[in-house]
Chain A
Amino acid sequence: MTELDAEALCQQLAAQMRPHVTPATALVGIYTGGLWLAERLHTELGITQPLGAIDVSFYRDDYASKGLHAKPQRTEITFNVDGAHVILVDDVLFTGRTTRAALNELFDFGRPGVVELAVLLDRGGRELPVAARYCAHTLAEPLPRSQNLELQRDEDGQLTFQLTQTPAVER
């Protein structure tokens, strides 16, 4: 799995998205990996709308059993959501639950015109009817639940994938 080149996938994703970007397009990254990716794409694609960030801690469906994430981050969406063309950006698409939570939160800011989803990697294992409009890579075989795949960012801002054997965080 480590042979996945996050940097290369990033370029591919940008290439996929470029034809569809208009001056009205806004990006919203999902903490933490998705936001790094969105920051990249924001520059790469020359997006003019301010970058949005969502922390889905307050909308997670496993709050009742798992409690609040240790340090939730501030969700910040400064563009006008009403009627906007929004692309949600996440690093890895898994169960689809994070996307669901992000959509719910987004709608508490207004009624967007179009919402699309862009991800670097689809690891399979969907539990909700969610599909990415833009996806750089789809794994041939779904990753076992016991494995966790996450984007990492080093001091130089380089993006890499990290695979751990910890129980999967539902995504």
Chain B
Amino acid sequence: MNILISNGRVIDPARRSDSVQNVYVAHGKIVALGSAPDGFHAERTIDASGLVVAPGFIDLAARLREPGFEYRATLESEMEAAMAGGVTSLAIPPDTDPTLDEPGLVEMLTYRAKKLNRAHIYPVGALTLGLKGERLSEMAELVEAGCVAFSQANVPIIDNTVLMRALQYAATFNFRVWLQPIAPFLGRGGNAHDGEMATRMGLAGIPVAAETIALYTYLELAKITDARLHITRLSSAAGLALIEQARADGMDVSCDVSINHVHLSDMDIGYFNPNCHLIPPLRSQRDREALSQGLAEGRINALCSDHTPVDDDGKQVPFSEAEPGATGLELLLPLTLKWAERAGVPLMDALARITSDPAKIIGITKAGHLSPGARADICVFDPHAHAIISRENLRSQGKNTPFLGLELPGKVRYTLVEGELMFDH
């Protein structure tokens, strides 16, 4: 279908362009900006006056809970959530059941997602079989099946020999390895940042050192193996400082942070709010400010939803017994805008953290920008509209988020995937 998106404020962080103009879409691609190409006849016109037209968002971590956890969420429900959130590309962590360590499984998942014809999925394969940290997965085969990188999700490898071999093997093919900095033993059994709040509430603490020790290990091993390392879900100022030190020493390492961790601190646990039980734990306000600042300056490369639907059975239990995680796909844009507002970040830079920057980390070239010829993955949103986050309004099957009841800016009006209008509100 030929679609004209007219009079919108087109922001394309990849080209650093921000102007009111028309966008012409045909055959699944952006065919022109500004004036219509010869013979273009719009079958549908979207009036985007007063709205922002941006590349569809790219989320570095969205758990769709398939296979294995369909009672918490299904591909269908979470894809609807992605469309409502303007998320057109998402990376899937390998901690499904079974884990994403089998090429056949990855093919099946990709096939199911394609059939649904919603967001593009980018599976992240398991670095080791079953995430057990013992045997390497068939990385080359997995990449052929569609994996874009390898990770351990939030299951650390205990044996550093295995970790080093995994990094070496991935580096053989120049595959990306995404690692979440979690020390295998330190902080085990903990469920909150080890600080005044945890002490006061009698929660077992996870010290910052659990993150930094893992980072020291990862960075050191990446240095000697030449692995392409991306660090996921940073939680502390000290962790960020280590990454910057490694960069200063000449290492090419990227990192991301979740929407929860740039907005919240351990204080937000309040009266044992199980929705604030997350991995990594929410840390101190000082850490949150450092992460927010780091993201603003691009020292943290991307912002992700870390979407983890957890059903009520998993949350309506005491804090320490609650399953960690929060729903996030539909909050990615509102919380990006809220963060930009609070940290004084220009809209262009804020959008870069959820479009062009994560595109680079996954290795997406066809999307994440609005150049003519690009895949027409587009989000049209109203930056000034506000909405209250409520269980009823969330399309995801996961209704649990620390932001329930809060009013946040940004409403997605239209989501286009490969030139098809998939969401219209």
Q: Give yes or no for direct A-B contact (beta carbon below 8 Å).
A: no
